[in-house]
Amino acid sequence: MAFVTFAILFFLFTVISSFFLFKSAAESGRINLPLPPGTLGWPYIGETFQLYSQNPSVFFTSKVKKYGSIFKTHILGCRCVMVSSPAAAKLVLVTKSHLFKPTFPASKERMIGKQAIFFHQGDYHFKLRRLVLRAFTPESIKHMVSDIESIAVDALKSWENRLINTFQEMKIFTFNVALLSILGKDEVVNREDLKRCYYILEKGYNSMPINLPGTLFHKSMKARKELAQILAKILSGRREMNKDQHNDLLASFMEDKEGLTDEQIADNMIGVIFAARDTTASVLTWIIKYLAENPTVLQSVTEEQEAIKTLSWADTKKMPITSRVIQETLRVASILSFTFREAVQDVEFEGYLIPKGWKVLPLFRNIHHSADNFPDPEKFDPSRFQVAPKANTFMPFGSGIHSCPGNELAKLEILVLLHHLTTKYRWSVVGPQTEIQYAPFALPQNGLPIKLSLK
């Protein structure tokens, strides 16, 4: 009974608030155009179940088939417009990016830190982006090759003759590389503490934001506090040292003339770990799977890698076959199926209205899996990248002012790990591998269990 009463009240609340929403829209002289085609589903719940009860590609593909490349829907209480044409993605992310701000759940902002780069537009974002980009240019990361190699060699050694969960092990590898890029070599002393806190923090990323003792969210917030304390200690240690000793991301953030506060620096260090770790680890996991399933491709990669004796930065720029395997994996796996923006004002697009406050989602996966852009799109075929893809059809690292500033580092660490893996080891996948998990990145079933041994 209580539930029915609640449902009725909730329904009335939704109807009344929708009335005010549309009334204020009309009063504000909103652009007089139709909304994109599509359905909004139930009040509040919308079409959340349809999206999350199955592989999201099925939901997106069936909508695109029915309504075309722009359609409306209603997910997790938000009215959304999804766009799946390269032109629309370009408009949202590049040409009209000032009309579409990044948007995240408030709980994520609290965990990573409000001052982190992803949550901002305008001058503050521009400044942070410059500081992050300069720490990750090819020139800035080329000296890291041998340190990344040591991390890769140690990781591979620790997997020898064991049944491992590839994704979990890759997360350790990418975490260590992220710390190296942010804090340099001499921070190994704090590595274990940082790792412990970060692992507790991440468990709360997708939890209900209820900050009461015992909840995942509460534990995460405590770990977040401890993480900030460790970072504050590292910052004060750095201030006592000679500044020229370091050329990592922290040094870039700490330059006096930039005037960032300790809180801003901590939020952005945590933000970069968040952006760098699971993304790169899932791509590596997919590469291991695709290479295992495609022995001729593995053979060509191995031959390319065996021709390199002592790995150098210059060598990493001369690996065309391995680089195409990375590109094709980024396309087929499309680990970030889409991204989120929010319209900051009413926007007119292709004869439709995208109302202010609505979420806008460019669907990367659909663009990467459209036969118009990539013939026989479900096939893993690295050779297709011998020819450059059409403009705006391949955006695994996003596009425009929020595109990934860490893409060069991601590619470098993947190449270094693949060099040592293919030249020294063989591996086999254990158990069935037909399912994909979305948590939230697309991942092979159970994180891809494998057995690895020396050749």
Closest CA relative to residue 103, chosen from 91, 120, 88, 79: 120
Q: Do the Cβ atoms of 417 and 152 come closer than 8 Å?
A: yes
We find the least distance from the C-beta atom of residue 411 to ligand HEM, in angstroms, to be 7
Q: Which is nearer to ligand HEM, 89 or 227 (CB)?
A: 89
Beta-carbon neighbour count of residue 223 at 10 Å? Answer: 20
Interface ranges with ligand HEM (CB under 6 A) = 102, 117-118, 129, 132, 136, 181, 272, 275-276, 279-280, 283, 335-336, 339, 396-398, 402-406, 409-410
**Annotated binding-site ranges for heme:** 404
We find the least distance from the C-beta atom of residue 7 to ligand HEM, in angstroms, to be 35
Q: Which is nearer to ligand HEM, 51 or 272 (CB)?
A: 272
Q: Which is nearer to ligand HEM, 136 or 198 (CB)?
A: 136
Q: Which is nearer to ligand HEM, 139 or 303 (CB)?
A: 139
Q: Which is nearer to ligand HEM, 50 or 442 (CB)?
A: 442
Distance between start and end Cα atoms, the chain: 66
Q: Which is nearer to ligand HEM, 44 or 340 (CB)?
A: 340
Give me the residue whose beta carbon is nearest to ligand HEM. Answer: 406
We find the least distance from the C-beta atom of residue 420 to ligand HEM, in angstroms, to be 18
Helix 407-424 crosses helix 295-306 at what angle (to 10 degrees)? 90
We find the least distance from the C-beta atom of residue 125 to ligand HEM, in angstroms, to be 6
Q: Which is nearer to ligand HEM, 129 or 426 (CB)?
A: 129
Beta-carbon neighbour count of residue 48 at 10 Å? Answer: 17
We find the least distance from the C-beta atom of residue 24 to ligand HEM, in angstroms, to be 28
We find the least distance from the C-beta atom of residue 415 to ligand HEM, in angstroms, to be 12
Q: Which is nearer to ligand HEM, 311 or 412 (CB)?
A: 412
We find the least distance from the C-beta atom of residue 408 to ligand HEM, in angstroms, to be 9
We find the least distance from the C-beta atom of residue 145 to ligand HEM, in angstroms, to be 15
Closest CA relative to residue 71, chosen from 43, 40, 30: 40
Could you give the count of Cα atoms lying within 13 Å of 89 in the half-sphere of its Cβ?
25
**Annotated binding-site ranges:** 404
Q: Do the Cβ atoms of 81 and 332 come closer than 8 Å?
A: no
We find the least distance from the C-beta atom of residue 399 to ligand HEM, in angstroms, to be 7
Closest CA relative to residue 36, chosen from 397, 343, 435: 343
We find the least distance from the C-beta atom of residue 128 to ligand HEM, in angstroms, to be 7
Q: Which is nearer to ligand HEM, 283 or 301 (CB)?
A: 283
Tokens of 240: 């006592």
Q: Which is nearer to ligand HEM, 50 or 179 (CB)?
A: 179
Amino acid letter for position 128: L
